[in-house]
Amino acid sequence: MPLASSPLPELELLIGGHSIRGAGEPRPSIDPASEQAWTVVPDATPGQVDDAVTAARAALRGEWGRVPPRERGRLLRRLADLIETGRDRLIAAEIRDNGKTIREVTAQYSLIPEFYRYFAELADKLDGRVLPRERPGVLNYTVVEPIGVVGAITPWNSPGLQLAFKAAPALAAGNTLVVKPSEQTPVATLEQAALFARAGFPSGVVNVVTGPGEVGAALAGHPGVDLVVFTGSDLTGRKVGAAAGFALSASVLELGGKSGQLVFADADLEQAVVGVAAGICSASGQTCIAGSRAYVESSIYAEFSERLARRIGELRLGAPEDWSTEIGPLAFAAHRDRVEGFCRTASEEGAEVLVGGRRPERPGFFFEPTVIAGVTNATTLMREEVFGPVLGLTTFEHEDEAVQLANDSRFALGAGAWTTDLARAHRLTEALEAGTVYVNNYRLASYQTPLAGFKDSGVGFENGQESLAHFTRRKAVWIDFSGRQKDPAST
């Protein structure tokens, strides 16, 4: 992987088709597995955000605005091909950026081209409709247009996939983009952004500005941005939504989660153990959909908790680029410390750590996958998003109680149920408050399936053809061909 042995290059912003040095102070990017600097990333300023928005607006009004939908689809398919052929470099960048294992990043980069291909096929299918004729001699119809300039603010946990979530529908609909990746993991986004020009997208269609929160704030509140699409914590999401609202921009906010998994006595126990473990340990728990609360029917709790703790305790921590590694490091030091703090608080509140709960004695921002029992919905661990490999585990007595416990959260992104009772499965899909409900699986995703959060987990949704409604606007047209216009002054 080419980036693995590179010296410390200084990366640049992408504005209007040009690579530009950040006007802020450049910062080293730290490899979370080694704690060593491996590249230097730029910091933009609010002024450079303004330059990027101006470039995006110019592209929208210029060459890109005249590109027909079928050609937009062709460019997206070309981009998908370039990502596919160049994925080794992109995978290497993301591993060094955030420490995710090569297993998971490779799987994501097998999927990312399919996002672009899926939306490429929808680019020429965004049509309006002719409305029923209510007035003689008047034609009334609607036209679908791009919403305009899209500000995309992406998180540090899956930067490549999150860019595809936002760029694929935005470009299919004919919009332009200003992307602000997390300051913790901008490299994979800059690497992928370079491919847009190679695919044939005109200058200014995709722009990337990097840097800390003030850069994201400048983008979210910019009056030249028509839609802000954000993925991140609910706390930051509230600020982004408020800034966009003040600018009268639309917003789509995919926020945090505290998803519950319900394990019933009739479940396939082995499958449930594997699924619950994967639901909290995949990506080292650094995923909004993580199944971080587990409720187990009391009659099987002893056996399930013992088997789950043993399985999670066997997971192999190691170098992210090693295919045998099952758990990589957390993305940065402050986050590792935050996760550790949640475990400490749980112990202080009387919970019992069944396995894990510590940082291992090795370089890197590693944290042992953890199961904590003796918790209730009143404890901090079960209320707040940890965003790490830490599972809270407790019991329930019957189905109604299980649903009540799962729904007792301000978050409602995902929920899971493990049962072989078909009738119960259908009851749960209706009763559970969540944008996505999994039955006998967990954390599946597809470009064709909407991802939505209820309650504090978000506003709007991403993926699926339904998401294109966020990236378009409908214009109503009235044409009077009757030749009998009524004089408003006449009686």
Q: Which residues are catalytic?
A: 254, 288
Q: Three-class SS of residue 394?
A: strand
Number of Cβ within a 10 Å radius of residue 290: 32
Sign of the torsion angle spanned by Cα atoms 388, 389, 390, 392: positive
Residues 6 or more apart in contact with residue 244 via CB below 8 angstroms: 220, 221, 225, 228, 250, 251
Measured in whole angstroms, the distance separating CA 163 from the mean position of its chain's CA atoms is 8
CA-only gyration radius of the chain, Å: 24
Sign of the torsion angle spanned by Cα atoms 64, 68, 72, 77: negative
Nearest to 174 by CA among 473, 490, 480: 473
Sign of the torsion angle spanned by Cα atoms 436, 437, 439, 440: positive
Q: Three-class SS of residue 254?
A: strand
Beta bridge partners of residue 180, listed in sequence order: 153
Name the phi and psi angles at 36, rounded to 5: -110, 145
Residue 392 contacts residue 294 (beta carbons within 8 Å): yes
Instruction: Give the end-to-end CA distance of the chain in Å, rounded to a whole number.
Output: 80
Name the phi and psi angles at 256, rounded to 5: -75, 175
Measured in whole angstroms, the distance separating CA 36 from the mean position of its chain's CA atoms is 27
Is 237 exposed, middle or buried, given 0-12, 13-18 or 19+ CB atoms closer than 10 A? buried
Q: How many angstroms separate the CA atoms of 385 and 338, rounded?
A: 11
Q: Which two tokens stand for residue 452?
A: 């939505």
Residues 6 or more apart in contact with residue 344 via CB below 8 angstroms: none
Q: Which two tokens stand for residue 74?
A: 């062709």
Helices 187-199 and 87-98, interaxial angle, to 10°? Answer: 160
Q: Which two tokens stand for residue 346?
A: 């749980």
Q: How many angstroms separate the CA atoms of 290 and 88, rounded?
A: 27
CA–CA distances in Å: residue 282 to residues 103, 276, 450: 10, 10, 21
Nearest to 193 by CA among 93, 73, 48, 332: 93
Beta bridge partners of residue 392, listed in sequence order: 293, 372
